[in-house]
Structure formats: structure tokens, C-alpha cells
Amino acid sequence: MLTQLSIRDVVLIEKLDLRLHPGLTVLTGETGAGKSILLDSMGLALGERSAAGLVRAGAEQASVSACFDLPTGHKLFALLAEQGLDVPQDASEPVVLRRVVTRDGRSRAYVNDQPVGVALLRRAAAELVEIQGQHEQMGLADQSTHLDLLDAYGVAPKLRARTADAHRAWTEAGVALGAARSRIEQAAREEDWLRQSVQDLSSLAPQDDEEAQLAGTRQALQQNEKRAEAIGAALAELTPRDRRGGGGPAGALRAAVRALQRLLPPPGHDETAENTDAQKGVHAAMDALEQADAALSDAEATLTRLAADQDADPRLLEQTEERLFALRAAARKHGVSVAELPGLLRGFQERLDALDSGHARIGALETALRETRAAFEEAATALSAARATAAKRLEAAVMGELKPLRLERARFIVSLIRLEPENWNARGTEQASFLIAANPGQPPGPLARVASGGELSRLMLALKVVLAGRSAIPTLVFDEVDSGVGGATAASIGERLAKVARDVQVLVVTHSPQVAARGNQHLRISKHVAAGRTETRAEPLRDDHRREEIARMLAGETITEAARAAADSLLDPVSERLV
């Protein structure tokens, strides 16, 4: 419900903060006091059209905030979440709609201080407030709401759920059939290309993770080849091809030994003391050369063994690279990665299989579509029958409310219009429209087009009485629903407003004392001049002040004791409900 309305610098309102309560709130005041300004201000917060002329003279901008307390799970929360806006986590947190209009006519909109477009503000407001006025209507005048209201009035929820489920199954069957047909048509157009692609890829036979494995194998083979080349080069240096020529380090070592051997005395010759040291040096050198020759022999043996252990196979490396290049070429051809080739082959094969076996699959899907449509039509027929019954009951109930509201000559009709099959939906096979024939002989027409402003407001009231508790909208606003009536009719309007207010919050702008006396809260709108400036104020009334206002509404400018007594008679039955 609407708990607070805060207005700043709108036309004649400089600053106004209204605290509102459950039940029926009546707004009264003399003509021209500013009641329409109050409703225009509320309309700003609800997303209605703005204009620079709404900004109070001398102010740079006008702003209006409407604060609502909502129950957990209200539809507005889903809307906010759908739009990516923060949703109150605690039921005690209010929802605030705010609108700011600058002097140049530009406006900004907010929901809980989060910037939003005006269209979204209007959608949010539609979940919170219905306005029924002399010149504009929201809510019941919108034909798109009529089917849901009719169902809420007299149709079992299980019938709607069954129809919605059947429509969903029918829709899914249609989607599946359409997708299968599309796949077959696409496959048929590409059959030759598909078969060639499947043949090529099948011959290639790509495997999962094959690229990484081949790349690793190629790198290992390349490393082996490099090692083999290095070992071979080392061996070539140690063992020249023409070993008889005595080349290479081994031959050089042996030649050096032979040269040193010539310095040694023949075997059996006595060595003299003076050349003993020289002989020792020669022997040492020869020993070192022989050790070097032995080490060289060991190195040669080791390198020979390493060369024998190498399994480098140039052909294997070539085959690995050819495979890797073939896979990458196929991937480039089809615009995918190598890793996607196995899946691509499976997909191509499935499309060919769908083409080969498609007709049987299409037949099964067509059967499923026929069966699900028949199930939907059966469910929708039962729903339509229930709606037809509910429509008659709703017509009778509303007609019963029209006579006390001085609409006894009017006829209210619930029209059920069958939709073309292409427009059938989860709600069934028809749409509902509330029609009114305001006078005998007049053809029925849409609510907002046929009835006058006052008639329409009273008709909306009758509908609200009958549909009380069926709508999720927590706040209703009636603007001069009692226009042009008085006496017993005004009293009937007041009674019905009070009845509706048992289920939802109702705000009504009224000139009728009979209606004003029914309020749980009474606000008097008045115009004052201070410091040369005119401003509109709203004053909560209680007790004697309320009695005086009711008496003024009865008698005019000069309030008599008789008017006060009449006011007392109106207030006595309901005064205990005043807040």
C-alpha cells in the first residue's frame, strides 16, 4: 500500500508530506483548492507525462516520491530483479518511486534511488496503483487485464494450469519438429559437401588430443636427431674415415709415442747415471701419452655405444610432421581448431544420419505435434466453458451493483472473443473484453469509449466491488467518482468504496459529504496565501474539524447548525473508524 507521498515544488505545492493509512482515505476541499494538483503530482511518481509547467515558480526542479509497503513475493519484486535492479531483502524495507522534473521539462526517474527509464517506472507503478478518474483510467480500462480478472473471479486455477502445461508441450513439439525439418533441409542442401567432408575426415580419422601428442612426439624426435648428429660429428673427429692414414687424435698420440721411443736405449743397454733424469722424463711423457690414448679409446667406445642407442628415425619424424600438418590443414579448411575435428566429424555424420533417417523422425514428431495440439484444445475447451459460466456470473454480479450507482439503464457485458489458431497461447483460445452499453438501444463498446467520465468511474467502482480481493494491485485511486450524483446514489458510492477498502487501500477525491463521511482517513486540501505567494496544503482532519468540513460540504460557505447536525448523522455510524 501507499504509505507516504512527498511533494516538492509542484505548481502551488512548495512542500507537502502525506502519511497514508490502510482503508479508505477521502480528500476534500473547495473547487480550485488543488486536489487535481495532488493527483497530478502522484501521477508524476507513477510515470505519467511530465511538463516544465509543473515546476513551481522560482524553483529549479520539482520532485515527487511515493513510498509503498509491499508483502513478500509481490510481483513488483520479480520485475525489478528481471531488470537487474536491487530488490529489498527485508519485507520491512519500502519501495520508493521517485520522479524529478527540471525547469526545462526534462525528467529523471528512480526506483529505490536506482536510476530507471520512465517506461520502467510506469511498469512498476502499474503493479502498485490503479487510477480511475474523470479523464483517464488505469487498470480495469485496460482490456489486457480482463481475462485474468475473469479467471480470478470464477475459474478454477487447475484449468488454467492444465491449459498452460498443454500449450507448453504443444509449443515444444512444434519447436522440435521445426528444428528437425530445418536440419534436414540444411543437410539436403549440403549433402554432396557433407558426404565429401565426412569421407575426408573419416580417412584422416582425427583423434582427441592428437595434436598435442603429435607435437610432443615431433619435438622429442627433433631432439633425438640433434643428439645423433652431435654424437656422429664427435665420432667423426675421433675416428677419421681413413684410419690407415693414421689421422685423428688416436694416430697423433701413437705417433708421438713412437717418436719418444727412439730416445730410449736399446733393450739390454746399461743406462749411465748422467742421463737417468732424462730417461725418466721420456718415460713419464710416454706414460701420459699412453694414458691419453686409453682415455681416447674409452671416449670413442662410449660415443659408439651412444650412437648405437639412438633410435632417431628420419622417416618417423617426417611421418609425424606430415600427420600434424594434415590435421592442421583440415582444421583451417573447416574453420575450427584441430581439437574440434573429432566433434566436427561426429556432427557431420549426425547431419547425414538425420538426412538418411529424417523422414521417419519427422513422422514421429508430426504425430507428437498433433497429439499435443489435441490435448491443448481439449484443455482449452474446458477452460473456455468455465469462462463462459464465470462471465455470466460476473455480468449478473456487476449488474446488481449498477442500480444503486444510478446506472440502472446500463448493461455490462463480458465478451469472450475466440482467437485465430495462430494467436492461441498459454492462457487459452480466447480473449475477454468488458463492454458497456450505457443506454438502452446503444450497442455495447469498450469501457473507456462508451461511458462518460462519471459513469465510467462508477462502473469501475461496481467492478471493483465485485472483484474485491481478486487483484494484486494494493492501492486504488478514484477521482470524483461521485461527480454529478448526490443523495442516495452518493451514499451507495460511499458504502461501496468502504467495502472495497476492506481488501485494498482506496484514495478518493470527492465533493460528496456522504462519501467523505465513510473515510477512515480524511484530508482537507486548501489554498493559502502567505507572503504574497499562493500555496496548496493538505491537512488531516479529526473530530470537530472533520465535522465542520462535512457540514461545509453540505451547506456551502455559511455553515448552519442544521448542517452540523446533518454532518453528525452522517459521521455517527462510521466515526469510530477514523484514523
List the pLDDT tens digit at each of the 579 positions of the chain: 999 999 999 988 889 999 999 999 999 988 777 788 888 889 899 998 887 788 988 899 999 999 999 988 888 998 999 999 988 877 678 999 999 999 988 999 999 999 999 999 999 998 899 887 654 555 667 788 899 989 989 999 999 999 999 999 999 999 999 998 887 787 777 778 888 888 988 888 888 888 878 877 777 777 777 777 777 777 777 776 555 555 677 677 777 777 777 777 776 666 554 467 767 777 787 778 778 878 878 777 777 777 766 655 667 777 777 888 888 898 899 888 888 888 899 988 887 776 777 777 888 899 999 999 999 999 999 999 999 999 999 999 999 988 888 888 888 999 999 999 999 999 999 999 999 887 787 888 887 676 666 677 788 888 888 887 777 789 999 887 887 777 888 899 999 999 999 989 999 998 899 999 999 999 999 888 877 788 888 899 988 899 999 999 888 878 888 988 988 888 866 544 544
Total domains in the chain come to: 2
In 205-313, alpha helices (H): 210-238, 248-261, 276-309
Compute the distance between CA of residue 93 and CA of residue 515 in angstroms, rounded to an integer. Answer: 33
Same-domain pairing of 460 and 347: no
CB atoms within 10 A of CB 572: 10
Which residues neighbour 571 within 8 Å (Cβ) at sequence distance 6 or greater? 517, 546, 547, 550
User: Does 459 lie in the same domain as 528?
Assistant: yes
The closest alpha carbon to 129, from 81, 93, 97, 88, belongs to 97
Sign of the alpha-carbon dihedral angle for 413, 160, 73, 119: negative
Quick check: is 566 in a domain? no
135 and 163 belong to one structural domain: no
- Give a yes or no: residue 569 inside a domain: no
- Within a domain: 398: no
Same-domain status, 188 and 250: yes
Please indicate, yes or no, whether residues 127 and 78 belong to a single structural domain of this protein: yes
Handedness of CA 16, 22, 28, 34 (dihedral sign): positive
455/433 same-domain check: no
Does 62 lie in the same domain as 26? yes
Shared domain for 62 and 190, answered yes or no, is no
Q: In terms of residue numbers, what domain contains 125?
A: 2-139+449-540
Q: Is 40 a domain residue?
A: yes
CATH number at residue 461: 3.40.50.300
Backbone phi, psi, residue 42, to 5°: -60, -40
156 to 170, 231, 234, 329, 376: CA distances (angstroms): 22, 92, 96, 64, 17
Let me know whether 371 and 256 are in one domain: yes
Residues 243 and 354 in one domain: yes
Q: What is the DSSP letter of 535?
A: E
Does a structural domain hold residue 219? Answer: yes
Question: Does some domain include residue 560?
Answer: no
* Residue 183: partners with Cβ closer than 8 Å, 6 or more residues away: 351, 354, 358
The helix/strand/coil state of 268 is coil
Q: Does residue 466 sit in the same domain as residue 345?
A: no
Do 43 and 114 lie in one domain? The reply is: yes
In a domain, 546, yes or no: no
Q: Flag whether 556 is in a domain.
A: no
Q: Is 68 exposed, middle or buried (0-12, 13-18, 19+ CB in 10 A)?
A: buried
CA–CA distances in Å: residue 166 to residues 154, 163, 305, 422, 516: 21, 5, 81, 16, 50
